């Protein structure tokens, strides 16, 4: 197994263990180290250059910034700053998969298949004042999922779906409908990022 992949998986387990024991400072450090370790894994076997390399590095670096900003919780200005980091990171991923588009048919099929789930997700945000911004964010993840499908990267599509699940759990906390455990949120999030990167590496034939 790749050393950096092993590091990422180990940090994921360590972080969730520390968080479950309520060791906040230690868990904060491990959380911020997650995306850099995944970036090192990507760079260690990546064969892309130019804009492709830049887009993935940007997505993971913004993920690092988002993780750091969300350490303050799911409320306040830092949360929205972190949300913006992830939003731009999603746009970077979307651009990458747009540039690897293989089939508009798969894109349209995915959009149609996900329309009803997206509608139900958006409805669950109301009547919260955060509903509009959360709805835009949710729609972005649906678009990411569809473009992963259009690139015929089903691994990455799984990553986008897990990203949507993770962020939906956070959104439900934001609108004060339900609070989920950090283990559940981070488990789906770390799996999402890993699947997206594995999908990217598969597209370029690196793995």
List per-residue pLDDT tens for the chain, 207 residues long.
899 999 999 999 999 999 888 888 999 999 999 999 999 999 999 999 999 999 999 999 999 999 999 998 777 789 999 999 999 999 999 999 999 999 999 999 999 999 999 999 999 888 888 889 999 999 999 999 999 999 999 999 999 999 999 999 999 888 877 778 888 999 999 999 999 999 999 999 888
In 3D space, the residue among 135, 137, 52 whose CA is nearest the CA of residue 98 turns out to be: 52
Residue 195 CA to residue 62 CA, distance in Å, equals 17
Residue 33 CA to residue 8 CA, distance in Å, equals 9
Residue 74 CA to residue 92 CA, distance in Å, equals 23
In 3D space, the residue among 41, 39, 35, 17 whose CA is nearest the CA of residue 27 turns out to be: 17
| pTM recorded for the entire structure | 0.94
Q: Decide: 73 and 31 in contact? Cβ < 8 Å.
A: no
Q: Which pair of tokens denotes residue 50?
A: 């130019």
Question: Residue 128: its pLDDT value, please?
Answer: 84
Helices (H), 46-103: 50-69, 76-98
Cα 92–Cα 130–Cα 87 angle in degrees, nearest 5: 5
In this structure, what is the dihedral angle of CA atoms 155, 156, 160, 165, given to the nearest 10 degrees?
30
Question: Residue 70: its pLDDT value, please?
Answer: 92
Question: Residue 180: its pLDDT value, please?
Answer: 80
Domain ranges of the chain: 49-203
Q: Which pair of tokens denotes residue 140?
A: 């972005």
Residue 4 CA to residue 164 CA, distance in Å, equals 25
């Amino acid at each position: 197994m790749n050393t950096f992949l092993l590091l990422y998986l180990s940090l994921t387990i360590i972080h969730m263990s520390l968080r479950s024991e309520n060791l906040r400072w230690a868990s904060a450090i491990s959380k911020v180290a997650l995306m850099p370790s995944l970036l090192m894994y990507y760079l260690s076997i990546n064969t892309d250059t130019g804009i492709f390399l830049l887009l993935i590095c940007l997505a993971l670096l913004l993920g690092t910034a988002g993780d750091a900003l969300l350490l303050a919780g799911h409320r306040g200005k830092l949360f929205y700053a972190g949300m913006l980091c992830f939003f731009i990171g999603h746009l970077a991923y979307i651009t990458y998969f747009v540039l690897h588009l293989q089939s508009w048919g798969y894109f349209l099929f995915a959009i149609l298949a996900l329309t009803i789930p997206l509608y139900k997700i958006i409805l669950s945000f109301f009547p919260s004042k955060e509903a509009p911004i959360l709805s835009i964010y949710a729609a972005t993840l649906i678009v990411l999922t569809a473009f992963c499908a259009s690139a015929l990267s089903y691994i990455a599509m799984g990553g986008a779906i897990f990203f949507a699940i993770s962020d939906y759990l956070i959104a439900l906390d934001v609108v004060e409908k339900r609070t989920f455990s950090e283990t559940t949120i981070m488990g789906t999030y770390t799996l999402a990022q890993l699947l997206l990167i594995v999908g990217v590496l598969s597209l370029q034939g690196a793995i």
